[in-house]
Chains A and B, each alone.
Chain A
Amino acid sequence: QQQVKQSPQSLIVQKGGISIINCAYENTAFDYFPWYQQFPGKGPALLIAIRPDVSEKKEGRFTISFNKSAKQFSLHIMDSQPGDSATYFCAAPATMTTDSWGKLQFGAGTQVVVTP
């Protein structure tokens, strides 16, 4: 089974600071790397995703950086706010076959706490 390794397990950042979460993956049949955000008691929701014909994607305060040669990608949360306090999951395609229909394998999650 392919694994997606996510770190750190948790982090605490002050309001206005930068949160950085890293993920490493094994081989994938296609390049698609989403990040999901989950608030307590809720289901995960797509936050941002990258298809690495580019090495970086930015949406507002959230940026994905991708390093294909290292098989790593990361999420940066700039100007972190208390409302960003949540658990973040990275994901990568789970199958090696080109006829994959979209199974994702998720990292273990990072709990982010933004202090006022």
Chain B
Amino acid sequence: DAGITQSPRHKVTETGTPVTLRCHQTENHRYMYWYRQDPGHGLRLIHYSYGVKDTDKGEVSDGYSVSRSKTEDFLLTLESATSSQTSVYFCAISEGQGIDTQYFGPGTRLTVL
């Protein structure tokens, strides 16, 4: 497995609370991604990073923010969690762009009550 860890692996929180998910890689890959996975929707890109402090929005970015202060860490923050953000969140990395393989982490299951 590619060296990707996600923390926490499971979290239950209440509506309106802030939540931060962490993705850590040991591969020194430049590109990092956050996806959410929901039944019937597959994987949808939330935010991505193309370098330290370089990030941009994906297709479902509303309600989420990200930060990348080091190559190895990519943080996803839900400023005020809502029940619609209950999902499984996956981090992915890739060495290059375009046709390079994306390697996924083990996922974080988030439940917002």
A binding-site residues for B, Cβ under 8 Å: 1, 4, 6, 9, 30, 32, 34, 36, 41-46, 49, 51, 89, 93-94, 100-109
Near A by CB (< 8 A), chain B positions 49-87 give: 50, 58-59
Q: Which 9 residue pairs are nearest across A and B when measured between Cβ atoms?
A: A43-B104, A101-B97, A102-B97, A106-B42, A106-B43, A108-B42, A32-B99, A102-B98, A46-B101
Q: Is the CB of B99 within 8 A of A102?
A: yes
The answer to whether A103 and B42 touch (CB under 8 A), given A32-B98, A42-B106, A43-B107, is no
Structural contact, A101 and B50, CB atoms closer than 8 A: yes
Tell me the residues in window 1-45 of chain B with beta carbons closer than 8 Å to chain A beta carbons: 4, 31, 40-45
Give complex CA distance A6, B42 in Å. Answer: 10
Nearest CB in chain A: distance from B47 CB, A:
11
Report which of A44, A46, A49 forms a contact with B43, defined as CB distance below 8 A.
A44
Does B100 contact A103, Cβ atoms closer than 8 Å? no
We find that the number of chain B residues with CB closer than 8 angstroms to chain A is: 27
Using a CB–CB cutoff of 8 Å, the interface residues on chain B facing chain A are 4, 31, 40-45, 48, 50, 58-59, 90, 92, 94, 96-107
Q: Which residue of A lies closest to B4 (CB)?
A: A43
25 A–B contacts, CB within 8 A, in A order: A1-B59, A4-B42, A9-B40, A30-B99, A32-B99, A34-B101, A41-B107, A42-B106, A43-B90, A43-B92, A44-B90, A44-B104, A45-B104, A46-B101, A93-B98, A100-B98, A101-B97, A102-B31, A102-B97, A102-B98, A102-B99, A103-B58, A106-B42, A108-B41, A108-B42
